Amino acid sequence: MRRMWIGGRAVLVTIGIVAIVILLFSTAAAAQGRRAGGREVETANGRDVIAREVLVKLRQPSQGASLPQIAAGVDAEDVVPVGRSGLFRIRSRSMSATALANALAQRPDVEYAEPNFVVRILNDPADPSFPQLWGLKNTGQFINWSPGVPGADIQATEAWDLSTGSTANVR
């Protein structure tokens, strides 16, 4: 009986240590905020966008002269040209991406303004339970307290890069 108690205690201590490590990592991640490519992320219209940043297309590329007034009106900390067609990336010190896009879209010299959407090239599902499906993508994650074997899966994510199905193949 004593051995079982000691073994049970060791399991409880291990679980406690793992819980503390998870708590520390999740707290550190929450303190940093959400990030994409090293930049802070916020949500606009249900999608991730770069915080306080929009892409703006001027009606006439020669209207770059109005850029200082535009920048001053939205408390811009950075204005960067994108290409040669009058498109600019504007980052505000104080306005959210949604507020910034709405304010700029009201200007007569602006053709359009939209948040700088985060585009991810990875094709992993957004399902929060996906990491538990080791048969689809095994990265060595722990399954029932046992480490997995990286690569011991059916390479589902690689297959999804090739095809995710077709409506032409209906039975």
Examine the domain organization and report whether 156 and 128 are in the same domain. yes
Question: Are residues 90 and 138 located together in one domain of the fold?
Answer: no
Indicate whether 51 and 107 sit together in one domain. yes
Does residue 29 belong to any structural domain of this protein?
no
Q: Is residue 9 part of a domain?
A: no
The residue type found at 79 is: V
| Confidence tier at 22 by pLDDT (50, 70, 90) | low
Q: Is the same domain home to 55 and 109?
A: yes
143 shares a domain with 92 = no
Which residue from 18, 96, 86, 1 is spatially nearest to 53, judged by alpha carbons?
A: 96
Residues 84 and 102 in one domain: yes
CB 96 within 8 A of CB 42: yes
Q: How much is the pTM?
A: 0.54
CATH of the domain at 67: 3.30.70.80
Q: Which of 11-20, 26-35, 125-134 has the highest mean pLDDT?
A: 125-134
pLDDT at 115: 96
Whether residues 141 and 95 share a domain: the answer is no
Phi, psi (degrees; rounded to nearest 5) at 16: -60, -45
Q: Is the pLDDT of residue 71 over 80?
A: yes
Q: What is the mean pLDDT of residues 83-92?
A: 89
Around Cβ 44, how many Cβ atoms within 10 Å?
Answer: 20
Q: Are residues 46 and 111 in the same domain?
A: yes
Rounded to whole angstroms, the Cα distance separating 8 from 145 reads: 15
Looking at the 3D structure of the chain, how many domains does it have? 2
How confident is the model over 7-13, as a mean pLDDT?
A: 54
pLDDT at site 2: 41
Q: Per-residue pLDDT for 23 more than 80?
A: no
For 35-67, the pLDDT digits (tens) are 766 789 999 888 899 999 999 998 876 655 688
